[in-house]
Amino acid sequence: MPHVKLFIPGPVEVSDKTFQAFRSPMIGHRGQGFKDLYAKVQPQLQQLLFTKQLVYLSTSSAWGVMEGAVRNLVQKKVLNCMCGAFSDKWFDVSKKCGKSAEALQAEWGSPIRAEAIDKKLATGEFDALTLIHNETSTGTMSPLAEIAALKKKYPDVIFIVDAVSSLTALPIKFDELGIDVLLAGTQKAFALPPGLAVFVASPAALAKAALAKDRGYYFDFVEFQKNAEQSMTPSTPSIGHVYALSSKLDDFFAEGLDARFARHKKTNQLTHNWAAKHGFNLFPEKGFESLTLTCISNGARPGSRTVDVAKLQKLTKDQGFLIDGGYGKIKGTTFRISNMGDETETTMNQLFAALDKSMAQL
């Protein structure tokens, strides 16, 4: 089977260099070799997340930490901010963890607004909230800085933020924002193979977790902190992933974070241009479009052209590129193109050339 290059919003294409690092010879996870490896990536991760806190490595997909955050940090009631498939599901997960939870539902394609959160938190019912910064199913980015500013008004509410599909593509300054948990899976904007998540917790979150009697073991934040202080993880991590992460972080800093952020902006803009050129409009509310993927309206919004998305996808796949045909209830009435990871103007233009060819055959 010839390789089909991934332009879906996760997992994304993994470079040969990353795979080579991934297959490094195995070492023991309690030995000096692993400690040195973790101690090497730690300051790089701290720089990437703009934090002085220790960054944790979790051998799980993002959902492990998302569920873990709820188990560690919700005592009273959690406000689940919802505006798409992933954020909607966090509400279900909270309930499945036995927590008292309330949905703050925005329409799919709309962001979460700080004013809406403010109104809810003013009731005093909540001790935590969950927010997805970049809702991948709808390609919509919520205004994180505005929302995080509420933390000053509600210091006792724990702010848990998923940046799964945005972290590394734009600056997210954990310490400055004052939020309590920031987490990401690494098969999206990090461009690593699936199976690793990174996260960070504020001192307030750690103090609160320490009081939770039913926080479990595998995702016990207190254990993560204790172990990270020794450059270790609570249980045996996927060591190959940590080697791959180390290689990837070297790539990030060789490029320079600012250059990396600018590259994502540029490749994202090119995707918007491609959509406009073909008479499509975008699904997200104007001004809240994701920087890492483009959710293109294929009839979901008035005024957009419609095509047979399955056919577009198939014709493009036959040329060696995979795009996404839409997620959940907007499958087919939208489709998505990712510009996460290593993609450049050149590689995006290769995709657009293939898509142009496909469009001509529809």
Ligand X SMILES: *Cc1c(COP(=O)(O)O)cnc(C)c1O
Distance CA 238, CA 121 (A): 39
Q: CB-wise, 127 or 162, nearer to ligand X?
A: 162
> What's the min distance (Å) between Cβ of 63 and ligand X?
4
Length of the chain: 362
> What's the min distance (Å) between Cβ of 132 and ligand X?
5
> What's the min distance (Å) between Cβ of 355 and ligand X?
22
Distance CA 207, CA 306 (A): 52
Residue ranges in contact with ligand X by CB under 6 A = 10, 61-63, 86, 132, 136, 162, 164-165, 185, 188
> What's the min distance (Å) between Cβ of 230 and ligand X?
27
Q: CB-wise, 50 or 63, nearer to ligand X?
A: 63
Q: CB-wise, 233 or 358, nearer to ligand X?
A: 233
Q: CB-wise, 10 or 354, nearer to ligand X?
A: 10
178: left (phi over 0), alpha (psi -120 to 50) or beta: left
Q: CB-wise, 224 or 327, nearer to ligand X?
A: 327
Rounded to 10 degrees, the C-alpha dihedral 136/119/121/328 comes to -20
> What's the min distance (Å) between Cβ of 165 and ligand X?
4
